[in-house]
Amino acid sequence: MDKVTSLQAFVKVVETGSFSEAARQLRLSRSAVSKYIGDLEESLGVQLLNRTTRHASPNENGQLYFERALVILSEIDAADQAVTHLQSAPRGLLRINAPMSFGTIRLGPALADFMVKYPEMQLQLVLSDDLVDPVQDGFDVTLRIAELESSSLIARKITPMPRAICASPEYLDKHGTPSHPRDLRDHASLTYGFLLTGNQWKLTGADGEHWIQPAWSLCVNNAEVLRDVAVKGRGVALIPKFIAGEAVKNGELKEILKDFRSPPLTLYAIYPPTRHLSVKVRLFIDFLVERFGHEADA
């Protein structure tokens, strides 16, 4: 029995909850994955998984074995990486998930430079504004612009992502320019409604904190859409500066309420907890920190 491959198959099934998905990610047949785990259970003399036609989950023995298997596999990976890193450039597949707007506006040029620096690596980038599960979806690194909730995953801060309150000059000419956060209650608002604060806006100025529940006319999970709708004069939007910047610069949008600040979102790199961070993941995250970490107004 190939014990290492059996451990890898078992861990992947537990992580994905599915023999079929584990087989897809391991590039094996479903029957091969089933045989590896069957051989593992036979050698141990215990059942590790509860199986249904659609799902597989660890029982008490399986959960204990899963936690130990993670440590063992991470040690093997660390040993392999330590040797190969000394002998050659990093190589292999790195699967990355990132938000759509950040991916198209900022990440693309950075990836091109990363590929020049590490030409033997393969990058698979999936752009999505959905909150994917990094473990179940098989990503090595997930980039997220957010206010993070507590999680078993490890998150490394890359850079703050400041936001600006913007509206088109035409909208402001027609409806007036707010001079205080409370004035926003009388304006149509365009909101990103998938944050921990919901649709509320928190703005802080010399007179303290203000929580505003705007009368929104659009709620969307993509800030480029907010920018484009704001440019068309349909309301006031709270938008990351890296998205609004060009429209502000060319006069399509005007930043308002500059004496008040919203809490900046943060760009995080998220990855599953392992005892040793793989060389590929570490190099990629270090590259992002070097590339974006100094850009306070990213």
Give pLDDT tens digits along the chain (298 positions): 688 999 999 999 999 999 999 999 999 999 999 999 999 999 999 999 999 878 999 999 999 999 888 888 877 876 776 665 544 567 788 999 999 999 999 999 999 999 999 998 899 999 988 777 777 777 889 998 876 655 557 888 999 989 999 999 999 999 999 999 999 988 999 988 655 555 788 899 999 999 988 888 888 888 899 999 999 999 999 999 999 999 999 999 999 999 999 887 889 998 877 645 678 888 999 999 999 987 644 4
Please indicate, yes or no, whether residues 123 and 45 belong to a single structural domain of this protein. no
Environment class of 54 (CB within 10 Å of its CB; exposed 0-12, middle 13-18, buried 19+)? exposed
Residue 298 belongs to a domain: no
Residue 297 belongs to a domain: no
Looking at residue 72, its pLDDT comes to 87
Question: What number of CA atoms fall less than 13 Å from residue 76's CA on the CB side?
Answer: 11
Number of folded domains that form the chain: 3
Q: Which two tokens stand for residue 4?
A: 């290492």
Give the tens place of pLDDT for each residue, 167-195.
999 999 999 999 999 999 889 999 886 55
Closest CA to 44 of 73, 3, 82, 8: 3
Looking at residue 295, its pLDDT comes to 62
Looking at residue 214, its pLDDT comes to 80
Looking at residue 136, its pLDDT comes to 72
What dihedral do alpha carbons 253, 254, 256, 262 form, nearest 10°?
A: 50
CATH number of the domain residue 27 falls in: 1.10.10.10
Cα–Cα dist 201/72, whole Å: 46
Please indicate, yes or no, whether residues 117 and 77 belong to a single structural domain of this protein. no
CATH number of the domain residue 174 falls in: 3.40.190.290
Looking at residue 297, its pLDDT comes to 43
Residue 178 belongs to a domain: yes
Please indicate, yes or no, whether residues 181 and 251 belong to a single structural domain of this protein. yes
Residue 246 belongs to a domain: yes
Cα–Cα dist 60/48, whole Å: 8
Please indicate, yes or no, whether residues 256 and 175 belong to a single structural domain of this protein. yes
Residues 6+ apart with CB under 8 A from 143: 96, 97, 98, 99, 102, 107, 158, 267, 268, 269, 270, 288
Looking at residue 198, its pLDDT comes to 58
Looking at residue 298, its pLDDT comes to 40
Where is the domain boundary, 86, 113, 143? 86
Residue range(s) defining the domain that contains residue 232: 163-263
Cα–Cα dist 267/141, whole Å: 12
Closest CA to 62 of 54, 51, 76, 52: 51
Q: In sequence order, which ranges of 140-220 are alpha helices (DSSP H)?
A: 169-175
Please indicate, yes or no, whether residues 168 and 152 belong to a single structural domain of this protein. no
Please indicate, yes or no, whether residues 232 and 94 belong to a single structural domain of this protein. no
Please indicate, yes or no, whether residues 167 and 26 belong to a single structural domain of this protein. no
